[in-house]
A and B are shown apart, each in its own frame.
Chain A
Amino acid sequence: MIDLFPFLGRMPEGVKIWVVPYNDSNALKIPLFESVKAGFPSPAEDYLDACLDLNDLVIKHPAATFFVKVDGDSMIDVGIESGDVLVVDRALDPINTSIVVAIIDGDFTVKRIHKDKGQLFLVAENIGFDPIVITEEMDFQIWGVVTFVVHSLR
């Protein structure tokens, strides 16, 4: 009570009560159809399965999975195009050559990580883009591992 109406205490009026008699006349009247059974029962009735759920296929850790939308073409050679939706799983540990959503100095990007002789690179999948060398001065963080691309063909 206190939380919701913090100023209720200041209200001069005492609590007035009136009784609302029961009245059904203002209830909406919508006809309800019950399912009708007629004819022969389906022979498949006992074998009905639940539908396939695409989520089962692409989401392994629902609590840790996020969707992000792609804007740009630096990953085009691996089939990630502008407008695609990526499935990102934060529960996974990135390995060498994982495609990740990363943060560099406060900005998000999507790239392939590549480790070579102790040096970390973010590599684009498009010939027109140079690899980014991750140095110690950079504020670098991996946000999640990309597991699937949702790409519309129409």
Chain B
Amino acid sequence: MIALVDCNNFYVECERLFQPRLSNKPVVVLSNNDGCIVSRSNEVKQLGIPMGIPVFQARDELLFEGVEMFSSNYALYGDMSARIIATLRQFTSAIEVYSIDESFIELPKDKDKDKDRKAHCHHIKETVKKWTGLPVSIGIGMTKSLAKLANKVAKKYTSGVFDLVNHPRHEKVLDYIPVGDVWGIGKRYTEKLNQHGIETVYQLTRADDKWIQKHLTITGLRIVMELRGIPCLPLELTPSPKKSIGRSRSFGRSVTKIEDLKQALAMHVTSAAKVLREEGSVASCMQVVVETNPFVEPYHGKHITAKFETPTASTPAMIKCAHEGLMRIYREGESYTRAGIYLTDLCSENAIQASLFCEPNTERSRDVMEVVDKLMVRFGRHKIKWASEGLKQKWAMRQAHLSQRYTTKWDEILKVGV
């Protein structure tokens, strides 16, 4: 039996924990560079301001309604997320951390009575709230897909815990939920299913296996099996190695000089390469992307892919490659608003196949990177830099509404008037 523990309006609630004056007020958190709304308080949801909308499109309404805006404070959200997971670990070691604000947990066998299970989950919910100050909702089901559905119901219609296992009106509940709400059924599949008269989850569970496999592939069939209560997606207790690592961000203001683009790319490479090495992986390909404002014509966007003859995790080698790629796609006079890199075709560094015509990844380059990584851990990410990242980043992110890093920086901890 699986429960999905999902935070309610996670980023907004992290801000509220340290600024209680925000409770019961409309609050939003904005994406990187203050571009779009990525988290909304219930008050904002009630105003009908949609998720993901660019701020400039909602500006008048946000101002008129007195909505408090915050830039993404990922240092804070990341730390609060780790606290929630640590709190959950006292209940079970079987946890799959699915995203920054969602975790699947396996429920203990001795809690298989309906009443016990529900009480246990209420206890988990209250403990997380007490310890971390953050509200969560819990959905319980026989499978991950059902737990996810139950969580949606829990958020919308209950006090925070909903149990689909042995639910007396199980079919009725499933018949109430549209197929589009199912985890893994996107917009295209939803349209296709609706065309064939399948609108609710219950109808989907009754569909013919062969038909599903034909129209939704084997992945879709697996989802349907899960919805029928047959586990097909086991808990992933250890995070599987990433298949690709991307870093991209829009600039605070548009950039025309190639030097500024080079700095931004170097910064992205440094950050992605560090993650790559932490996973013990090397990359075979790197994609470099630059683009102008997509909302303004004429739009100019280009990307190019480099293939490393020998897969690598060396930051200087990759920065050099990113710059070479940039030279090939850069056009003078364009006002670029976004640049990024994407490392793909990752494999374990132990499994590198040496290319016939060159030496395998040398020990020396790896040693250098090890020293750099250790220095970064010891002195902090921003104390040691590759020269190509630049010291003054004129194009730095716009974060006009950033709150303090209350839990990770001594000079930014909560100050209390006593």
Contact = CB atoms under 8 A, between A and B. Distances in A.
Contacts of B308: 19-20, 22
Interface stretch (B3-11, B108-116, B150-158, B360-368): B360-368
A15 interface: yes
B306 A20 contact: yes
A64 B340 contact: no
B21 A27 contact: no
A4 B20 CA distance: 34
Contact of B301 (A7, A32, A61): A7
A62 B301 contact: no
B377 interface: no
Contacts of A12: 301
Interface stretch (B63-71, B160-168, B224-232, B313-321): B313-321
Interface stretch (B43-51, B127-135, B191-199): B127-135
Contact of A22 (B21, B359, B371): B359
A137 B20 CA distance: 17
Interface of B is mostly: mixed
A5 B413 contact: no
Interface string A1-37: 1001111101111011111111110111110100000
Given A30-B371, A72-B417, 16 more contacts: A5-B342, A7-B291, A7-B294, A13-B304, A17-B306, A17-B307, A27-B314, A28-B316, A30-B367, A66-B406, A66-B413, A90-B133, A107-B21, A108-B414, A141-B20, A143-B20
Interface of A: 1, 4-8, 10-13, 15-24, 26-30, 32, 61-64, 66-75, 80, 82, 85-86, 90-91, 101, 103, 106-111, 141, 143
Interface of B: 20-21, 23, 82-84, 86-87, 130-133, 244, 246, 248, 289, 291, 294, 299, 301-310, 312, 314, 316-317, 320-321, 324-325, 328-329, 340, 342, 355, 358-359, 362, 364-365, 367-368, 371, 406-407, 410, 413-418
